[in-house]
Structure 1
Amino acid sequence: MMIQAMFFLFILTGGGTTNPDFHDSQDSNIVSSWTTDFSSGDSGMFEPDYPELGMAPLPPEAIDPIQIRPEYFHRIHETAQDVKVDASYECSYQSVLNMLHFKGNNDKYITSRPVLDYRHLTWIFIEMRIYAILDVREADQMFVSYIWVYLRWDNEHIHWDPDQFCGQDHILIPTKNLWMPDLTIEEMTEQDKASPSPNLNIGYHGWVEFRNDQVVVSTCKMEVYRFPFDIQSCKISFKSIMHSDNELRLFYHTNDSELTEQSRQTIQTQYEWIFLNMTVHEKTVNHFGFNQTVIVYTITMKRRSVLYIANFLLPVLFFLCLDFASFLLSDTGGEKVGFKITVLLAVTVMQLILNDILPPSSDKIPLIAIYCIGIFTLMMLSLLETILVMYLIGKDQKSTDKTEENQKMNENPEDKRSPLVGCFTGIKKLIHSASVKDTAKEDQSFPKEGGSSPHTEVSLVMEKAYEELGEMRKSKSLFSSSTEDEKPGYWTRVAEKINKVFTIFYIIAVILFLSVLFTVWNIDGI
């Protein structure tokens, strides 16, 4: 009797039947039958009752190892009832680890996929929850999120009877001591600086659970056409690095509405975004010559546009109103042009700020850029119209000054003579005085009759030239008066008409532009 009890104790504490690699002929038949049925895809012969350790059951193709090895657990349970052991020892975690021959350097648990037959497919259940939207960098097209990832898979080397160990149905072991799937995120550009979760949760039936939180910096193609009323969708895709879908396959919880509701309950902060929904789908990709299963989570979010409206759209619109108010200023001074140039430069500064926000690789020009360019164009046309009006008014002012000058010359011809006429007049006076003196001397010393002095002849010639110059000056004034048909104030009246027409055009253009732009902006809903 003592020998039998020692033999059963040997079996419980590490004998041949507790070694997962040891199987009798009946166990071998069970494993072989499972492999054949799984490979053929007929899983209807098993109806497992899955333990509620995870968030979702396995797909029909993945068979619970409890259902594969039922007779094994039945024999252990019957043997344990016949053997009395120390309860304090059997209730410790170490007793389970000793039964599993679990050591940190055990290659069976670390080096390869945890399957008894390499033809077995390792199913990995994955679920992701988003806890925070930390940042969205439009210029760099980067999405920064804080997520929790839940993984669960079957390790066929692990199994024990909880009744044998005081009801222990799970234990925690370090992650470095057990095989883990080599999953990665396709879009991730930076590794998380925080250390991963240090422990794995192992169930008595072989399920292994892993929970980990991490900050993911991933790429996300931004559609900023309707910025700041845009809706963005960023993806986080999980796949294996080395295993093909013939060795390792991912599956997920398919209820998108439930997944969205759970994410709304768990999300803590959303930065400047409003979380809308999260969907998940599966796809198969062929990278480097073999197919792989990829689980893609799509996070859809809407931007909070209130701050952009208050800090950007309204100030630019206010600058447009100021430009419109500048039509009330006088066109005769230079203050109007200076005011318009100042407002135009303010819009230019707003465009520079916008250039730092939007990504340069956008396929289409964003509507907010069209908004700034359109307002800038209208304000520039307003400035050009003001310059034209001031030019016409200045031209009319010159014409008025010239007319007043001519009138003064006609009223006081002696005061407004040309230099040449004045020169001839001075010469005429000098010659005339000289001729009078010479004539008086000649009359006193040499009285002659019928004689003429040379000075008298020069004086006559100069008088004749002076008369001809007078004739030329009169003809010039008549010619200039005939060529200027415009009445005083003609260009001023033209400038006033241009100003009125442009004001009407400006108002209509602003209304149409803003109406069309905000209608297009409102297509997806503001």
Structure 2
Amino acid sequence: MELWKVFLWSLGVQCWWLTGCLASRGNDTRLYHHLFNHYKKALRPVQGPEDMLMVEIGVTLTHIIDMNEKHQTLTANIWMTMAWNDSHLTWSPEEFGGFTALTLPASEIWKPDIVLYQNVDPYFNGWSTDDTYIKVSSTGYILWEMPTVTMSSCHLDVSNFPFDTQTCVLKFGPWIHSGKELDMRSMADEGSLESFIDHPEWEVGSFKAKRHMIWYGEDFNIGTPYADVTFKLVLKRKSTFYVFNLLLPCLLLTFVMTATFFLPSNCGEKLSFGVSLLLSMVVFQLVLTDVLPESDNLPWIGRFVIITMILMAVSLGMSVFVMYSCDSSMGARTIPGWSRKVFLKYVATLLLMGDLSKQGAAESADNPGEYSPPDLTTLNSVDKNKHNDNTTNSSDKTTLALYHMVNNLQSVQQNLSGLLVHARRMEKNRALEREWRSLAKVLDRICMLLYLVTATSCLIAFATEA
């Protein structure tokens, strides 16, 4: 008897559970038919034509997919939430087994024609409703949540690149329904960043929301107000990547250019080194051109690169002038007195190079006196007299040998005099060449200071502006 009681008790429980499920299923189906037998999703869900429908909207930013500075577009992954009251979808939970909410396909219910005004996605054809669902409350409160990827236009001001802050606007509003038919408001004062995934380049500063009522169509004499909710997204660029990969190499090349002014003026690698640095700056300019948008408003780093390229070109021209001024052919010409006094004395002293005008005088003072060959005229006259006497006495061979020796000494004296004249001329040319090289060093030092002062001033001015 005990087993029969247990069996009957379990059978009763199963029948009760099955009856409850069938009743619940029947209430669900009955509620659905009650709501949608006469429901028209093409009509605005209000009681009267003058009634205005309020739509609430909330946006959750989850990920910044791409910020394209070249085309000035922002691609982001967002979660949209919209809510409104549908007066045609209300019921009493007591009449339908206590059902207080239903989850239905979004394609079966009227939805507001909310669009993103800044949308630039060529494949966008409205919010996708095929795979989304809507929660319907017994009071007629509709809650629609859906994830989506948006591509919107965003005006970028790259004047302070890579230390810039950008503001992108996401404006959501109805396209057909005017402000007299549909009004909008934000669910919160700010968009949600709770599920935001950190971006390697951009940091979110704020995501504020604000409602607007703007008149459109006044140019066509059909001025009508339209409501919208605008989310203002403030993004700050993380500049570490650009500082180490773009800014520092640019600065290093800029100040390495000063090494060309320390190379000797007669060094053949001076110009090739400067040209190589100039080509490197051209490469940096090309990199910036690929990154930044096509605009007349250049960033400060772009202006700095252009000014640096100009300075490098001018410095190469100065190097050519300096190399020409110290050319070996200039050694035959004496430095003008005013140049020696101004550059080799005052300017060189001001540049902590010492008084270079005294260097030539000191070298000439250190040189030994010129060699004066002996005068062989007296010996020659004596030897001629002896030669005349010796013609009568041909036996004196020693006197004849002395005569030939004197002739040889006179020939050596003439050759030595020519060598001394050439040596004095070469020494004079070397002294003039040393003076020209000293002048070249002074000019190089002046050009280096001008280059450093100009480059540093531009860098400080642009950095202060940024």
**TM superposition score normalised by structure 2:** 0.69
Letter in 1 for 2:172: F
Contact 2:209 2:229 in 1 (8 A): yes
Query: For the residues of structure 2 that align with 1:330 and 1:214, how far apart are their CA atoms?
Result: 65
Shift of 1:96: 1.2
Would the alpha carbon gap of residues 109 and 172 (structure 1) be closer, same or farther in structure 2, given more than 3 Å must change?
A: farther
Shift of 1:516: 2.1
Q: What's 1:146 paired with? A: 77
Secondary structure in 2 matching 1:181:
coil
Letter in 1 for 2:242: Y
**Which shows bigger deviation, 175-184 or 164-173?**
164-173
Instruction: Choose between structure 1 and 2 for higher RCO, CA contacts under 8 A separated by at least 6 residues.
Output: 2
| Of 499, 505, 510, the match for 2:450 | 505
Q: What's 1:379 paired with? A: 312
Residue identity over aligned pairs, in percent, reads: 24
User: 1:74-113, aligned counterparts within 5 Å?
Assistant: 88-92=21-25, 93-100=28-35, 102=36, 108-113=39-44
What is the aligned length? Answer: 345
| Of 432, 436, 440, the match for 1:488 | 432
| Of 284, 292, 298, the match for 2:232 | 298
Q: What's 1:307 paired with? A: 241
Contact 1:395 1:491 in 2 (8 A): no
Q: What's 2:265 paired with? A: 331
Q: What is the CA deviation profile of residues 400-436 of structure 1, one whole-angstrom value per residue up to 9, with x for unaligned ones?
A: 7xxxxxxxxxxxxxxxxxxxxxxxxxxxxxxxxxxxx
User: 1:334-345, aligned counterparts within 5 Å?
Assistant: 334-345=268-279
Q: What's 2:9 paired with? A: none
Query: For the residues of structure 2 that align with 1:352 and 1:291, how far apart are their CA atoms?
Result: 47
User: 1:130-141, aligned counterparts within 5 Å?
Assistant: 130-141=61-72
Contact 1:396 1:491 in 2 (8 A): no
Shift of 1:116: 2.2
Q: What's 1:211 paired with? A: 145
Contact 2:58 2:188 in 1 (8 A): no
Shift of 1:496: 2.5
Contact 1:134 1:269 in 2 (8 A): no
Contact 1:224 1:366 in 2 (8 A): yes
Aligned pair 1:243/2:177, yes or no? yes
Give structure 1 stretches of 5+ with no counterpart.
1-85, 401-480, 522-526
Q: What's 2:460 paired with? A: 515
Shift of 1:121: 1.0
Letter in 1 for 2:325: L
Aligned pair 1:172/2:117, yes or no? no
Secondary structure in 2 matching 1:267:
coil
Q: What's 1:255 paired with? A: 189
Give structure 2 stretches of 5+ with no counterpart.
1-18, 334-424
Contact 1:141 1:219 in 2 (8 A): yes
**TM superposition score normalised by structure 1:** 0.62
Q: What's 1:346 paired with? A: 280
Letter in 2 for 1:497: V
| Of 249, 260, 276, the match for 2:205 | 276
Shift of 1:88: 4.2
Contact 2:254 2:308 in 1 (8 A): yes
Letter in 2 for 1:322: V
Q: What's 2:353 paired with? A: none
Say what the alpha-carbon RMSD is for the aligned residues. Answer: 2.5
| Of 307, 312, 322, the match for 1:389 | 322
Secondary structure in 2 matching 1:130:
strand
Aligned pair 1:157/2:101, yes or no? no
Shift of 1:151: 0.6
Q: What is the CA deviation profile of residues 188-237 of structure 1, one whole-angstrom value per residue up to 9, with x for unaligned ones?
A: 01145894442111100111111111110010000100011000010111
Q: What is the CA deviation profile of residues 324-349 of structure 1, one whole-angstrom value per residue up to 9, with x for unaligned ones?
A: 12222221022110010001000001
Q: What's 1:224 paired with? A: 158
Query: For the residues of structure 2 that align with 1:254 and 1:199, how far apart are their CA atoms?
Result: 23
Letter in 2 for 1:172: T
User: 1:380-419, aligned counterparts within 5 Å?
Assistant: 380-394=313-327, 396-397=329-330, 399=332
Contact 2:331 2:432 in 1 (8 A): no
Q: What's 2:383 paired with? A: none
Letter in 2 for 1:94: T
Q: What is the CA deviation profile of residues 27-82 of structure 1, one whole-angstrom value per residue up to 9, with x for unaligned ones?
A: xxxxxxxxxxxxxxxxxxxxxxxxxxxxxxxxxxxxxxxxxxxxxxxxxxxxxxxx
User: 1:403-442, aligned counterparts within 5 Å?
Assistant: none
Letter in 1 for 2:34: M
